[in-house]
Amino acid sequence: MDIYENLKKLNLEIPELPIPVASYIPAKMYNDLVFSSGQTGTVKQNLKYEGKLGTDLSIEIGKESAKLALLNCLAEIEYTIGDLNKVKEIIKITGFVASGKNFGNQPEVIEGASSLLLSIFGKKGEHARSAIGVAELPYNAPVEIEMIVRV
């Protein structure tokens, strides 16, 4: 299965690598694991959506933001390993959701990223996951995702 062919079939492409906004690298490799830095739903360095789930944004918009963040994580991983076809499996994703008072649907929001991983990687995309509600994310982003993959 060619990951880039799957992306084409899904009408998706890996975005240009987001530029780090502080003193960190896009991803770090340790043995056969790659740890991505956290990514938000930016498109060409600009947040597509801003605000909190449950007060400012719908779950559907949250899912879209999670998908964009995931694609940005894949850009970091591709930058680090050169070719996403080297990914043997997705180990884990952690999703942070900026949540308004009494919003408890973080798993539903992060499902946007999880289901996209399965569409792109098939069985290799099966992963462990955490979906965490937080008060604030950088630059008023609604979602931040980080990943661990095995190559």
- pLDDT tens, 83-100? 999 999 999 999 999 999
CA angle 71, 72, 74 (to 5 degrees): 65
Domain of 36, CATH number, reads 3.30.1330.40
How many other CB atoms sit within 10 Å of the CB of residue 148? 19
Supply the pLDDT for residue 30: 98
Query: Looking at the domain assignment, is residue 10 inside a domain?
Result: yes
Domain that holds residue 80: 3-20+31-150
- Domain membership of residue 26 (yes or no) is no
Instruction: Answer yes or no: is 117 within a domain.
Output: yes
- Quote the number of domains for the chain: 1
Return all residues near 138 (Cβ < 8 A) that are at least 6 apart.
Answer: 21, 40, 144
Does residue 96 lie in a domain region?
A: yes
What value does the mean pLDDT take over residues 61-88? 98
Q: Report pLDDT for 136.
A: 97
Beta bridge partners of 130: 94
Is residue 22 predicted with pLDDT exceeding 90? no
Confidence (pLDDT) at 20: 87
Does residue 25 lie within any of the structural domains? no
Query: What is the arithmetic mean of pLDDT over 57-61?
Result: 98
**Domain assignment present for 64:** yes
Residue 1 clears pLDDT 90, i.e. is over it:
no
- Is 40 part of any domain? yes
Tell me what percent of the residues of the chain surpass a pLDDT of 70: 100
Q: Give the pLDDT band of residue 19 (cuts 50, 70, 90).
A: confident
